[in-house]
Amino acid sequence: MKYLLTLVSLFLIGCGGGKDYHSLSKFDNMCDSYEMQICGDDTNYMNEIGVDSVQTLEIFYEYKLDVGDVYQPVREDSGSFVGDCEDIALSVAEVLYSKAWVLKIEFMAGERNGEGHSWLKVTTTNGSYRYDVGGKSSDVYFIHEVIVLKDES
């Protein structure tokens, strides 16, 4: 758990997507296609595909930019889980959703160092943390849109 709460990522690649946000409509489209707890369903999609921890997800994660910036959970591809920044952020949110020590999960769409990017703000019983694939403490973030995925604070 301490590893997760430090929210340090092993990845050095960012999202690299454009600045076309419209996050809520993209999120709604994803929820129409997948049964996920972050969408209000009873099924935890990540558990269904055998991912029960953020560490497991990170170990087997491979960055792959999707065409059209489609919001979706990471996909299994040749033994890896592939996706871009919003895919990994939404998948991590799904893994964390049922954890009692996670009080609030916010999906952020905006910019990191001037490039389109998505990340999470996770509030736990021990404080609030930013979860970002490839994020560094020196990065500059600008938030355009926020979707609250869980709020028990």
The tokens describing 102, both together, are 């996670």
The pTM (predicted TM-score) of the whole model is 0.85
Rounded CA gap, 137 and 145, in Å?
Answer: 21
Return the pLDDT at 13. 37
pLDDT over 60 at 14, yes or no: no
Per-residue pLDDT at 79: 83
**Rounded mean pLDDT of 43-64?**
91
Q: How far apart are CA 17 and CA 52, in angstroms?
A: 28
Query: Is the predicted pLDDT of residue 48 greater than 60, yes or no?
Result: yes
Share of the chain above pLDDT 90, in %: 63
Q: How confident is the model at residue 67 (pLDDT cuts 50, 70, 90)?
A: confident
Contacts 24+ apart (CB under 8 A), 72-75: 72/30, 72/33, 72/34, 73/30, 73/34, 73/36, 73/45, 73/46
Residue 113 has pLDDT above 70, yes or no: yes
Number of domains in the chain: 1
Domain extent, residue 80, equals: 2-151
26 falls in which pLDDT band (50, 70, 90)? very high
Is residue 73 within 8 A of residue 36, CB to CB? The reply is yes
Residue type present at position 119: W
Mean per-residue pLDDT, 46-64: 90
